[in-house]
Structure 1
Amino acid sequence: MSTRDTSERDDPIIETRDQLVAPMQAGEKSKADWRIGTEHEKLVYKREDRRAPSYDEPGGIRDILMALTEFGWEPVEEGGKVIAMRGSDGTVSLEPAGQLELSGAPLENLHETCAETGRHLTQVKAVGEKLGVGFLGLGMWPDKARSDLPMMPKGRYEIMKNHMPRVGNLGLDMMLRTCTIQVNLDYSSEADMAQKFRTGLALQPLATALFANSPFTEGKPNGYLSYRSHIWSDTDPHRTGMLPFVFEDGFGYERWVDYMLDVPMYFVFREGKYIDAAGLSFRDFLDGNLSVLPGEKPTQSDWWDHLSTAFPEVRLKSFLEMRGADGGPWSRICALPAFWVGLLYDQTALDAAWDLVKDWTMEEREDLRNAVPKLALDAPIPGGGKLLDLGREVMKIARSGLSARARLNSSGDNETGFLETLDEIVKTGKVPAQVLLDRYHGEWGGDIDRVYKYSF
C-alpha cells in the first residue's frame, strides 16, 4: 500500500472537475519516456521460532528498516515512527502486519528492474543475517492466524482495520496475511491507457494463475491455488473487482473519475495525522459537506490519497498498476514485469493480446476471474479450452513484444530471458502452488514448516 509523500509542495484546493482529471492526464508520456515500476512484498519471520516480528521489539520491523541506512536508505517518519525508507531504488515500506515492500524506481528496461530487485534482496538478506530474520516469498502466510500477527504503526492501517469487517469478511486477511507483486506501467494517451487497461484487466486472471502461490492457510491446504486472489472477492465490493465500465465504449479519464468519486473514502490527512472518514463520500467533500471536516474542501493531495484507496485488478493513477499476482521468489518478481511489458509496451503485441479477449462478454470475464483462484490454468475460458491454452498463446505474444523492444544488456541479451520461469509453468501446466502442494503431500509429509526452506 502507498506511503504518503509528506514533502512540501503546492497543494491547491480542488475547485473544478479538470483538477480531478489532471493526475491521469499528467501521466501521459511519449513512448521513449515509458518506464517500468515493480513492487513486491515479502513475509518477515524470526528464524528462531518463525513468528512474525512486531514493530518495536529488538530485531523487529523498525530495526530492519533502520539497518538499511547502511546501504544509503533514509528514514521516513509518521508520528515519530519510522514507517519507510527512501533511496535511489525507490521506497521500502511496511504493509499492515509488517510485510516488507519494495516500491521500485521507474526504470527503462527489465535488466535494470531485475538488478534493482537483486540489490534489494541482497541488502535485506544481509540485514536478516544480522538480526535473525528471514523473508518468505509466498502470496499468503502459510501458517499464521490473524491473531498471530502484529499491526504496524501507520494511521491509515488502523482506520482500515476498523472499517474492513463492516464491508467484507476477508478484508483483514488481505491486510494482515497476503503479499503480492505489482507492475506500474505508462501510457501515451487516453486511448492508449484505455486499450492497456482493458487488455490488462481481461488478462489479469492469467497473471493470477501463472503466479498462484498461496495454497495454505494456518498450516493446511485451503482448497485454493491463489487464496490471496480469492480474498479480494470478499474484501470490499465498492473498491474491488473487474470493473465492467472499463470495457464500455467511451471509457477514459472522466469515467475513471466518476468511479473514484463513488468509491467510499477511508481517511483525510491533516497536520501529520489520519482522520477517520471511512465510508464517507468524496463528492460530499467536494461540496464542503464532509462530516469530519465540516466546511473544508479537498486539496489535490486529498485526491491523490483517495486514488490510492481503490483496489481493482488494474488501477489507474498517473500510471496503470497490474495487481493480480501472488508474491513469490526472486525469479518470479522479475517475470511479472516481463510478462506485462511484453504485452503492453509494443503496439503489435498489445493489439494481438486484445484481439484474444476483446469478444468476451462481461459475464465470461467474471466467470474466469472467479474460477482462477481454485483452478488456475485449468479454469475454462470462453469459446472452449482451458486458461493454459490461452496462456501459451499469450506467452508467445509477450515474447514477441519483448523481442521487438530490443532492449539489450551488456552481454547483448534482450529481455525475453526474464520469461523463462513462466515458460516452464506453461510447459508443464503446473503453477507454483501446485508444486508446493505436491511437496506438502509428498516429501514434506504434511509438515508445513518445510515451506520455510523456500525463503528468499
Structure 2
Amino acid sequence: MARDVSDTTPIGARSELVEWIASGEKPRDAWRLGTEHEKVPFYKADASPVPYENGKGIHALLDGIQERTGWAPIVENGNPIGLFDEAGGGAISLEPGGQFELSGAPLKTLHETAAETAQHIADAKAISEKLGIEFLTLGMSPLWTRAQTPVMPKSRYRIMTDYMPKVGSLGLDMMYRTSTVQVNMDFASEADMVKKLRVSLALQPVATAIFANSPFTDGKPNGYLSMRSNIWLDTDRNRTGMMAFAFEDGFGYESYVEWALDVPMYFVKRDETYHDVAGASFRDLLAGKLAQLPGEFATHSDWANHVSTLFPEVRMKRYLEMRGADVGGPEQIVALSAFWAGLLYDETALDDAWELVKGWSAEEREQLRADVPKLALKATIAGRSVQDVARDALAISHAGLKRRGYRDVCGQDETKHLAYAEEIAASGRTPAERLLELYHGAWNGSVLPAFKECVF
C-alpha cells in the first residue's frame, strides 16, 4: 500500500463497513487492472544492501525519481517514503527492508500494464545506475541475514516489527526479506465478488507454483521453491491464509467484515501520529472503548487502514488483491496479471475456472497451500498434479484473454503476455528450479552470480 489514508469521517453505524466494500462495485466496462511489484535493491559493486540514508541510498533514489517523473512526494516525519502520481494514480512505496514497490495505476489492458512496468523500470534504473544500485528479480533476498537488512523509517513498520514475533516465527522475514507481485481486480456485484474470490483463492497456490522464484536464503538453498510463500504460513495466522469461510453458504461482504473485525489491529493513525494499539480490537474502537485511546471512535480511514493490514491469500478492499506470487522479471510480472485477467475478467472463463476448482474440499485446498512452497508444480490436489491444473487454468485464461480482444499497435492480443507462464507449465520447471540448477552447476555453489543474472 502506497500511503495510509486520513479520512476522518466518523463511522456512524456498523453497516458503513459493509457499504465501504460494496462501494467498490463497478460495471464491466469500468473494470481495471492494478499491478504491484516489489524489488530488492542492492549495490552493484559488492552486492550489499541499500540503506535509507548515506547520500546514495533509498532517500536519494526517491529524490531522483521524483525529479525525473514529477510525481509528488509522500513524506512522514520529514522523510520521503514514497511518491504519488496525482494524474495517473500510480505510486511508489517502500517495504520495511527497502524493497522498492510500484503500485501501478488502474489500467484497462495488459498492453498498458507491460508499458507501465517498462516505464517504471526505465525511470528507476535511470536514477539507480547513477547511485550504483540495481534491483533483484527474486522473491526473497538471497544473501543477507535479517540483521544485515536495512530498516525504512516508516512508523507503521516499527509497530509491526514489535508485534510480529508475538504471533509467528517468520513475520519479520516476510517484512524485511521478501518481494511479491500482486494484481488488483474489480467486481461488479456481491455475487460477482464471491465467485471471483472463490476461484482466485482456490487457484492462488497454483499461481504460487507457476511463479515460484525464491529458493535461496542466507547464501544457500533454503529447501523451498517459494520460500516467500512458506514464510506466510508462519507469519500471523489471525490475518493470513486461505479463508475457508469464503466457500460457506451465504458468504458475502458481511462475512468478510465480521472476519476483519476480529483480526487484531496494529495501529490507529491520528493526524501524522501512529498510535501503537497492536493486538487491540477494532470492535472496541468502533464502540469508543479502546483502552489505548479512550474516547476515540473509529473513522473511515481507520477501517481502510485496518483492512490494509489483513494478509489472506486474496484480500478484499474495494477490489480484490491476488497475493500469491513471487516477484520476477518484467515478463513474469505481466504474466501474473495476464493469468488473473484471463480467468476473472471473462464470464465464460470464470465459469470454466469455477468448474475446475469447485469440487476441491477445504482440507484439499489447505493441503495444497501447505505443499506448494516446497513442491510447486509437483504438488497434487484431488489426484492431479499442480502442473496439470496449471495447464488447464492457463488454457482457460488464454481463451478468456482472446475473447477480451484487446490488441496492441501490432495487432497482437493479450495472450502474448501469458506465454511466459505457459512455457513454465508446459515444461514443469519453475524459475526457482532453473536457479537451483545454476547454483549446483555454473554458479559453483554460490548465490553471488544472482546479483548479475537476476536483475532488472
CA distance in 2, matches of 1:20, 1:390: 36
Q: Does structure 2 retain, via aligned residues, the 8 Å contact 1:267–1:278? A: yes
2:19 is aligned to 22
The amino acid across from 2:266 in the alignment is: Y
**TM-superposed deviation, 1:150:** 1.1
User: What is the CA distance between 1:426 and its match in structure 2?
Assistant: 1.0
Which digits, 9 at most, give the CA deviation of each residue in 1:89-124, with x for residues without a partner?
600110001000000000011000110000000111
Secondary structure of the residue aligned to 2:380 is coil
Residue 65 (structure 1) aligns with: 62
Cα RMSD between the aligned structures? 0.9
Equivalent residue number for residue 448 of structure 1: 447
2:42 is aligned with 1:42 = no
Partner of 1:110: 110
* Residue in structure 1 matched with residue 236 of structure 2 by the alignment: 236
| Match runs of 1:369-384 below 5 Å | 369-382=369-382, 384=383
What is the match of residue 402 of structure 1?
401
Q: Indicate conservation of the 8 Å contact 1:139/1:228, yes or no.
A: yes
Q: Which residue of 2 aligns with 1:422?
A: 421
Alpha-carbon shift at residue 143 of structure 1 (Å): 0.6
* Deviation readout 1:176-220 (Å, 9 max, x if unpaired): 000000000000000000000000000000000011000011011
Displacement of 1:256 in angstroms is 0.6
Cα shift readout 1:321-373 (whole Å, capped 9, x = no counterpart): 00000011111011011000000000100010011111111000000110000
In structure 2, the residue matched to 1:261 is: 261
- Give the C-alpha shift of residue 23 in structure 1: 1.8
Query: 1:81: how far off?
Result: 0.8
Shift of 1:5: 3.4
The within-5 A match list for 1:247-286 is 247-286=247-286
What are the Cα deviations for residues 234-275 of structure 1, in whole angstroms up to 9, with x where unaligned? Answer: 000100001110000111000010000000000000120110
In 2, distance between residues paired with 1:89 and 1:433?
33
Question: Which structure 1 segments of 5+ residues have no match?
Answer: none
Structure 1's consecutive aligned runs of 4 or more residues displaced over 4 angstroms after TM superposition are none
Correspondence for 2:185: 185
State, as a whole percentage, how many aligned pairs show the same letter: 54
**Equivalences for residues 130-141 of structure 1 within 5 A:** 130-141=130-141
**Secondary structure of residue in 1 paired with 2:241:** coil
Shift of 1:128: 1.4
Instruction: Determine the structure 2 residue equivalent to 1:125.
Output: 125
2:74 to 64, 73, 76: 76
Amino acid across the alignment from 2:423: E
Instruction: Give, as a single letter, the amino acid of the residue that structure 1 aligns with 2:363.
Output: E
* One-letter amino acid matched to 2:410: S
Q: Distance in 2 between matches of 1:183 and 1:385?
A: 26
Q: Report the Cα distance in structure 1 between the residues aligned to 2:2 and 2:233, rounded to whole angstroms.
A: 21
More deviation, 289-298/182-191: 289-298
Amino acid aligned to 2:14: R
Deviation at 1:72, TM superposition (A): 1.9
Partner Cα separation in structure 1 for residue 35 and residue 204 of structure 2:
16
Q: Which amino acid aligns with 1:60?
A: G
Name the structure 2 match of 1:218: 218
Measured in 2, the distance between the counterparts of 1:63 and 1:326 equals 27
Measure, in 2, the Cα distance between the counterparts of 1:18 and 1:286: 12
1:51 to 48, 53, 56: 48
Greater mean alpha carbon deviation, residues 16-25 or residues 363-372 = 16-25
Return the alpha-carbon distance in structure 2 between the equivalents of residues 262 and 2 of structure 1.
Answer: 25
Paired residues of 2:2 and 2:91 also in contact (CA < 8 A) = no
State the aligned residue count. Answer: 452
Structure 1 counterpart of 2:193, which letter? M
Please give the alpha-carbon distance, in whole angstroms, between the structure 2 residues aligned to 1:332 and 1:163: 33
Residue number in structure 1 paired with 2:410: 411
CA distance in 1 between counterparts of 2:121 and 2:276 reads 35
| Counterpart Cα distance in 2 of 1:287 and 1:18 | 14
Q: State the AA in 2 paired with 1:15.
A: G
Q: Pairwise mapping of residues 80-91 of structure 1 onto structure 2 (< 5 A)?
A: 80-87=78-85, 88=88, 90-91=90-91
1:2 offset after TM fit, Å?
A: 4.3
User: Contact (CA 8 Å) 2:3, 2:74: kept in 1 or not?
Assistant: no
The aligned runs of 1:140-219 (5 Å cut-off) are: 140-219=140-219
Q: Given the two structures, how large is their TM-score scaled by the length of structure 2?
A: 0.98
1:431 maps to what in 2?
Answer: 430
| Structure 2 counterpart of 1:392 | 391
Alignment correspondent of 2:317: 317
Give the Cα separation in 1 of the matches to 2:245 and 2:157: 29
Cα deviation code 1:259-295 (max 9, x no counterpart): 0000000000012011001000001111111112101
Q: Give CA-to-partner distance per residue, 1:38-70, whole Å, 9 cap, x none.
A: 000000001122111111111100100110121
Counterpart CA distance in 2 for 1:293 and 1:2 is: 26
